[in-house]
A and B are shown apart, each in its own frame.
Chain A
């Protein structure tokens, strides 16, 4: 359809799209370029879009001022475990709500959904007390368990349920005739077909865990246990002021996996959408 547009209209549309991109691209551009500028250049007026001399030392300092590699690892493994855990719990719960007929299923689902209405700030204090009683404060367990069994997983369950509802019942009936039980139908038929839904759940779960800020600052107090959003706030000078170029270098490093996950999972997303073999 775009091919039929006159060249001028097409050019105008591309121009408009470029303009709309600015608010999204400029902060990232500013973050990346400023991470290799000296502080004086960051605050120069008029602003300099391109650094006159790239100074990569800020990246080195990120790793000397903080146990940043360790913190990076903390965020990575927590996000990975939370993503896998959420995919497991949400896909099974979503499948059960969509496919298994049991008394009160819909009422139970509504009760589960109400979990989304409660802000995490409301539950953080009781959760802190609960984990303190269990001796798990200042460990990574709260950052793993809360997302997998809390509100973020409810949202993921909702997405998976909506997907499984659209899956043709005949596929499962064919599998039953072929001799499969409930769990094997889930594992060999329903789950492989749920790749689009799993990809979206994986994207938002990973991002949510990667960016988690409130829970880490409440539950963690040892720098070597910190996650990245928490660590970013620690790059301050003796007076408590931010060390801008170092902080932006750390922020750039923090943003990299997010971009990577999005690119990889988006491919899965498109592949999954093509998976419709039924008429």
Chain B
């Protein structure tokens, strides 16, 4: 186990700045998830930590030891790749034993470690099979087994579940989390799936355009997003944004509709963005809320998701009940004030305590 520290990390590919001064401290034994849209630099940051790419500037330390210039083999890390990267010409047992054999560990120790890892991951019956004889989930487990036999200081996961179907992804998610609880080793996990990030992470790092937008626990990011990007990225379905201005009446949207504002010490000036999550709308009487026209209905069984036009903006609302509505119907909605966020129109920064 070890803490990891990134200090002013820069990475350039030619003229493209992929990472622009990343400062990040990962705690010992923490499960940290790097999340962000494609091209945000999350995989690059992981590869820099693995030593598979060289930094253009800055320093990386693992367990207090600077590793910036070290080869991957000297960093005491193990990595699980998106495509599993199992050696196709080796059996499961050989794949798992490979790194230990290369490091000249005694045969008895290798067998013990491989059997231990296979037992933890439910692979004991598959040790003599080749990767091509395994299902996607089994291959993923072998990839994890290959990582844990080494007992490294840090585990790195690069979108390890993205090739699995939705059902298996949920199973593997909890298996990885259980593995973390069992081993207690520091894990750094890259994904573009915010649900994966929310369900697995001790802390989440949201990256965008090579910069860190926010670092925090899943609920901190959900409840108090630092800016409009994080607010839109975390949560599914995504937060709704309505542009307008704050007046003495409340929040005045572009079409003149007025939405209630939470209590604030000072009224924000200029263009403001009103943020409300789909599940934070409530149905109300006509004179108690804003009219919204139903554009589409998505019945989800226990929930109903509606696509609506509200204050001249298309929004999504999620109700934990079965609603009988048709496209073209008009509903009256009221946002839950405690869950409303206001963002600065220019910078996207969250305003006040909203």
Contact = CB atoms under 8 A, between A and B. Distances in A.
Interface string A163-177: 000001011011111
A177 B86 CA distance: 13
Chain B CB within 10 Å, residue with most, of A178, A189, A278: A178
B102 A179 contact: yes
Contacts of B170: none
B223 to A, nearest CB: 37
A176 B88 contact: no
Given A171-B87, A278-B83, A279-B139, A176 B71 contact: yes
Contacts of B89: 192-193, 275, 277
Interface stretch (B130-138, B198-206, B305-313, B335-343): B130-138
Contacts of B139: 279
Contacts of B82: 170
Nearest to B50: A177
> Max chain B CB contacts within 10 Å: which of A171, A174, A176, A179?
A174
> Looking at A192, A274, A279, which has the most chain B CB atoms within 10 Å of its CB?
A279
B73 A176 contact: yes
Contacts of A279: 83-84, 136, 139, 163
B79 A277 contact: no
B98 interface: yes
Contact of B85 (A171, A180, A274): A171
Interface of A: 168, 170-171, 173-180, 184, 189, 192-193, 274-279
23 contacts: A168-B85, A170-B81, A170-B83, A173-B72, A174-B81, A174-B86, A174-B146, A175-B87, A176-B51, A177-B78, A177-B79, A178-B102, A180-B73, A184-B102, A193-B89, A275-B89, A276-B132, A277-B86, A277-B132, A278-B85, A278-B131, A279-B83, A279-B139
Given A176-B71, A276-B132, 15 more contacts: A171-B87, A173-B85, A178-B73, A178-B98, A178-B102, A180-B102, A189-B87, A192-B89, A193-B88, A277-B86, A277-B89, A277-B132, A278-B84, A278-B86, A278-B131
